[in-house]
């Protein structure tokens, strides 16, 4: 009797039709991170029980723009780049769970379906958006150089509405790339039941690490950040009160799997 193949739906006889090829997945890209403080109560309101706010700087938020190339372990997507390239914008906060501090992505938009599905697997709550981010250049005038004074813009829109506008100007090299998105991720994987009122079909807390991590030297700078309203977003609830820092660098990593910390169908490990 047939066994369907494929990492995610659609599962098929050969497994080629899956919305995303199986892990490991390899990523290389350029990343702009802007960290700011909002009202800590607004961050706390984004953390489902039993997650708790970070004790230190509980209103810290990172908005990240990234321009990625990614591929499976066959590397074949790199030669058909419509299947490899995507851009994303996302919002990260920190939280505590069982005494450990984590990073947590609360909102995220990408521009390809394979990236959306891959994110859902990892607990990134992805939706589609249109993301633009200035490229640094090495020749000519139509772009910033990776050096002090280099200026970048980045925008997100979704549903034909502009949601985030960011600007970044390099002031110098940086030892840090920020602290909000620097911890292991703590994500929810949630899927409602097909039956009204029933418990979710999937309701997990997971954590994950990437491997073969590599990064270019980082740049820091000044930034401006504006979050706009939309009937289908709650971004303005976490509007910036104060900027913390802004960073730019190239990053690469591979990802194979995460760890399930807790499931609504029975905990694993040290209990809660």
**Closest CB to a second copy among residues 60, 116:** 116
31: number of Cβ within 10 Å: 21
Q: Considering the complex, what minimum distance in angstroms separates the CB of residue 150 from a second copy?
A: 10
Contact 188, 200 (CB under 8 A): no
- Rounded least distance, CB 246 to a second copy, Å: 14
Least Å distance, CB 271 to a second copy, is: 18
Quick one: tokens of 136? 């640094």
Q: Where are the alpha helices (DSSP H) in 18-76?
A: 40-44
Decide if 221 contacts 168 (C-beta within 8 A).
yes
Min separation Cβ 215 and a second copy, Å? 6
The DSSP 8-state label assigned to residue 49 in this structure reads T
When the beta carbons of 176 and 193 are compared against a second copy, the nearer one is 193
Residue with smaller CB distance to a second copy, 243 or 263:
263
Nearest C-alpha neighbor of 175 from the set 212, 204, 215, 211: 215
- Nearest to a second copy of 76, 100 (CB atom): 76
Q: Are 18 and 6 in contact (CB under 8 A)?
A: yes
Q: For residues 142 and 172, which CB has a smaller minimum distance to a second copy in the complex?
A: 142
Distance in angstroms (rounded) separating the CA atoms of residues 85 and 12: 25
What H or E segment, with its residue span, contains residue 121? helix 113-122
Q: At closest approach, how far in Å is the CB of 58 from a second copy?
A: 13
Q: What is the C-alpha to C-alpha distance for residues 211 and 257, in angstroms, rounded to an integer? A: 10
Least distance (Å) from a second copy to the CB of residue 192?
Answer: 6
d(CA 2, CA 98): 43
Q: Is the peptide bond before 10 cis (omega within 30 degrees of 0)?
A: yes
């Amino acid at each position: 009797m047939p066994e369907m193949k494929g990492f995610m739906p659609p599962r098929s006889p050969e497994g080629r039709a899956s919305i995303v090829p199986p892990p490991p997945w390899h990523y290389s890209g350029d990343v702009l991170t802007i960290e700011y403080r909002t009202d800590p109560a607004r961050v706390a309101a984004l953390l489902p029980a039993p997650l708790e706010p970070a004790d230190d700087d509980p209103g810290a938020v990172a908005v990240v723009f990234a321009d990625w190339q990614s591929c499976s372990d066959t590397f074949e997507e790199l030669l058909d780049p419509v299947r490899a390239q995507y851009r994303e914008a996302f919002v990260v906060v920190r939280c505590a769970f069982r005494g450990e501090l984590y990073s947590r992505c609360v909102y995220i938009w990408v521009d390809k379906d394979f990236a959306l599905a891959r994110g859902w697997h990892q607990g990134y709550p992805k939706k589609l958006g249109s993301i633009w981010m200035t490229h640094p250049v090495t020749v000519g005038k139509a772009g910033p150089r990776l050096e002090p004074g280099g200026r970048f813009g980045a925008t997100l829109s979704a549903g034909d509405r502009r949601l985030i506008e960011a600007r970044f100007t390099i002031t110098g090299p940086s030892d840090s790339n920020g602290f909000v998105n620097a911890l292991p991720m703590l994500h929810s994987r949630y899927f409602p039941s097909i039956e009204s009122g029933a418990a979710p079909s999937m309701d997990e807390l997971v954590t994950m690490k990437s491997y073969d991590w590599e990064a270019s030297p980082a740049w820091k700078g000044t930034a401006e950040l504006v979050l706009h309203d939309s009937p289908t977003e709650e971004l303005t609830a976490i509007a910036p009160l104060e900027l913390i820092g802004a960073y730019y660098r190239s990053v690469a990593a591979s990802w194979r799997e995460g760890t399930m910390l807790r499931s609504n169908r029975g905990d694993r490990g040290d209990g809660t």
